[in-house]
Structure 1
Amino acid sequence: MADTPDPVPETRAARRAARDAARSSVTTVLPALATVRRPVAAGATAAFAGLAALAAYGDSRLVLAAAIAFLGLVVIRGWHTLLDAPSARGGAIVLVVSLAALLVAVLGRDGEPWLEQVPTALAVGIIATFLHQLVRKDGRARLSQSIATSAFGLALLASGVCLLPLTDSVAGAEPATVGLGAVGIAAVVDLLVGPPRRTAWLMPLSMLVGGLAALALAAALGGLAAWPLLMGVICAGTSHALRRVLAVLPGISSVQGQLTSAAASVLIVGGLIYTVARILVG
């Protein structure tokens, strides 16, 4: 029986090459658009969140409703274009109708449960979405994409109107002011977008900045508690995540696309703020 040759000892260079190959195989490859700094989107997010926070701080449902309506219209104007969905004009009309129905559903209530009619308004939006598909004259190209885009926009608008009841709840407007303020302050983290390795760390950094900002805002408004930290972390993280998702779309290169992304990233935290406020604050 032939002798088995002794294994060749692995050199240090070979081990280093193996480690580098393993590391590169698990490295996330970001699209080129995801590594481009978008100062307009960051600045608009800070401005829109600040506007909504000030409106909430005023403790008036009508003022806050006007701010939410403005942000909703900013989203509606560029939403289908940003997501490259067909029949953008018809889709925008559907979202305008849905926004009006959602605002009426909440403003029409004068007591608990404030959101009782929101499912009805959402049903109106869903029905309008499918009716829009029936009247399209382009052969209903990319039907699924068109429906999904309108449904996503409807969800953003519904999340935004969830802020309205807080001005009349036991919790008061402080949770909305703190959560929206944290989103606006954490938006500065977007300015650090660059090489993929650095960009990958922006999500936890945004959450950290948002949590600290929420604590500072809560202290300035009347005292320290545990809920502002949670509020700031989840709101800043969710808002940042949506902007990063939209940042890989070709339409984000335009000013309108960045404004749409900014407004959407503010509206999306409305439902989160309402949930945390009702569970942890009262």
Structure 2
Amino acid sequence: MTPSATATTTLALAALVALAAFAGPVVLALAAVLVSALLAAGWPELLSLPSPRGTTSVVALTGLVAAAATAVAVLAGRDAVGGGPLAGLPAVAALSLLGAFVHQLARRDGRPRLVESVTAAVTGQALAVLAACWVAVPATYAGAPLAPVVLAALAVAVAVCATSWPLRVAGPVALLAGALTGWLAGSATVALGGAGIVPPARWAVAGIVAGAGAGLAAAAWRAHSARLPAAGSVPAAFAVAAAPVALAGGGAYLVGRLLLL
């Protein structure tokens, strides 16, 4: 897959998550599981890992359990006093770490590149947990409109990073383009009456911060993934496309809880 095709896949996933944010926690959880599944499917090939089936299984299972736990907490109406909708994710992360070690113990290939395999699996699991944070975004002060604001900025930043520009150019441009898109999307949310209980002025600030963060994440991911030889193959390209969407989930939740008060 070409960089433009990979970026198009990211845009499609971003659009799917943005629409799912308005459809309720169950649908949004399914969208988050899809992001984690695509990440898991290509993660071993992207990093040329041994025992690919086991790594795919533990990453995909982590994404499924994390999204389900978050959806249950949102449906139960857990607020900040009860630990918030993400209260179950530390336990999921801890159990996923144990799962990564169990996977290594179950290997029958002599366990070559053991440290590399464990590190890569745990990193993939961390991204899967961050993807589950999208399920909690509509439960923040900002509500569901925050998801398209952040994802619009991410989409623009990823599109910039998919160009043939060198990273020293594409990185700063992605950062600025993400911040600008976030500001415009936040302002549009206010203009369309989606500000909710959040003061309108906060939306512009949150859009800029979230957009700049999305641009930084997109540029950092390009700097990492572009160096990997397998990044152009189909399974690996799905992981490259899904990772920025997963990574933005945690940032979106932080913006919704900390900036949009």
Q: TM-score range by the shorter chain?
A: 0.7 to 0.9
Q: Any residues of structure 2 matched to 1:27-42 within 5 Å, and which?
A: 38-42=3-7
Alpha-carbon offset, residue 37 of structure 1: 6.6
Name 2:184's counterpart in structure 1: 216
Where 2:217 maps in the other structure, the secondary structure is helix
Candidates 49, 59, 63, aligned match of 1:99: 63
Distance (whole Å) between structure 2 residues aligned to residue 250 and residue 143 of structure 1: 21
- Residue 154 of structure 1, aligned match among 125, 142, 155: 125
TM-score w.r.t. structure 2 length?
0.88
- Offset from partner CA, 1:8-56 (integer Å, 9 cap, x none): xxxxxxxxxxxxxxxxxxxxxxxxxxxx971112211222112212222
2-side partners of 1:246 and 1:157: how far apart?
17
| d(CA) in 2 for partners of 1:191, 1:78 | 19
Aligned residue runs from structure 1 range 39-50, under 5 A:
39-50=4-15
Aligned-pair distance for 1:59? Answer: 5.0
Rg: which structure is higher?
1
Unaligned runs of 5+ in 2: 192-202
Q: Does 2:34 match 1:70?
A: yes
CA distance in 2, matches of 1:145, 1:273: 30
Computed over aligned residues only, the root mean square deviation of the Cα atoms, in angstroms, reads 1.7
Code of the residue aligned with 1:91 in structure 2: it is T
Q: For the residues of structure 2 that align with 1:199 and 1:235, how far apart are their CA atoms?
A: 16
* Residue 61 of structure 1 pairs with residue 61 of structure 2: no
Q: Which amino acid aligns with 1:86?
A: P
Structure 1 unmatched runs, 5+? 1-35
Number of matched residues? 243
Distance 1:134 1:199 in 2: 40
> Is 1:89 the equivalent of 2:53?
yes
Summarize the Cα distance change of 1:124–1:260 in structure 2 as closer, same or farther, 3 Å threshold: same
CA contact (8 A) 1:235 1:273 kept: no
Aligned to 1:122, which of 93, 99, 102? 93
Shift of 1:95: 1.5
CA shift in 2, pair 1:262/1:240, >3 Å: farther
Q: 1:79 aligns with which of 43, 68, 77?
A: 43
Question: Displacement of 1:104 after TM fit?
Answer: 2.4
Partner SS, residue 182 of structure 1? helix
1:33 maps to none
SS at 2:173 equivalent = helix
Cα shift readout 1:45-104 (whole Å, capped 9, x = no counterpart): 222112212222x15111211111111100110101110111000111111221222122
Aligned to 1:201, the other structure's residue is in SS state helix
- Work out whether residues 163 and 170 of structure 2, in 8 Å CA contact, stay in contact via their aligned partners in 1: yes
CA distance in 1, matches of 2:142, 2:133: 14
The match for 1:264 is: 243
Match for residue 211 of structure 2? Answer: 232
Q: Which of 93, 98, 105 does residue 134 from structure 1 map onto?
A: 105
Normalising by structure 1, we get a TM-score of 0.81
Show the counterpart of 1:4: none
The amino acid across from 2:207 in the alignment is P
Residue 168 of structure 2 corresponds to which residue in structure 1?
200
